[in-house]
């Protein structure tokens, strides 16, 4: 099974959307293998958003993401990276389809309530950036046989 990282951003936390967003992933059948609330400091934000440092909006992003605690999670499931990205909707929430997290809860590109890893490789880097190995849990779901066929569990 594949793992991916999500960050419920300060707007999600402060608007009281965290539980509802996490519930969507659980209802879909994704397994939460790590979850914590943290206050992100400038150093880790610069590392996480290194690809955006030269963008004119970077100072606002840095200030926004350090404005309040965030909730960081690791989700596990078949094709988790692609599935979670699809559930989140496009980055510009104004263009996100209704029914997606951003489509239902956001109006902005920069205030779009959630971050999700964009590839398997990125997910691995982001998970190790935010979680120690002993903060991730491997356990069985009692409903796994109702979520996947036997051949799908091996993928």
Known catalytic residue at 48: no
From 48, 51, 115, 120, active-site residue: 115
Residue 153 binned pLDDT confidence (cut-offs 50, 70, 90): confident
> In the chain, what are the domain boundaries?
2-153
Report, in this order, helix, strand and coil percent for the chain, each rounded to 5.
Answer: 45, 15, 35
CATH 1.10.1040.10 fits 2-153, yes or no: no
Whether pLDDT at 41 is above 90 = yes
Residue 155 binned pLDDT confidence (cut-offs 50, 70, 90): low
Give me the DSSP letters along 65-114: HTSS-EEEEEEEETTHHHHHHHHH--SSGGGSPTTSHHHHH---SSS-SE
pLDDT in tens, 114-144: 999 999 999 999 999 999 999 999 999 888 9
Give the pLDDT confidence score for residue 154 in this predicted structure.
74
């Amino acid at each position: 099974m594949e793992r991916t990282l999500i960050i419920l951003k300060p707007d999600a936390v402060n608007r009281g959307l965290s539980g509802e967003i996490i519930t969507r992933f659980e209802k879909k059948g994704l397994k939460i293998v790590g979850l914590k609330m943290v206050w992100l400091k400038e150093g880790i934000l610069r590392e996480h958003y290194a690809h955006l440092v030269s963008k004119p909006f970077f100072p606002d992003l840095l200030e926004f993401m350090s404005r309040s605690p965030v909730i960081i999670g690791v989700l596990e499931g078949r094709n988790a990276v692609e599935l979670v990205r699809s559930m989140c909707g496009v980055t510009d929430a104004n263009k996100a389809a209704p029914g997606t997290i951003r489509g239902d809860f956001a109006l902005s590109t920069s205030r779009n309530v959630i971050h999700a890893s964009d590839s398997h490789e990125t997910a691995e880097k982001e998970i190790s950036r935010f979680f120690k190995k002993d903060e991730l849990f491997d356990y069985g779901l009692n409903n796994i046989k109702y979520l996947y066929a036997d051949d799908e569990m091996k993928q």
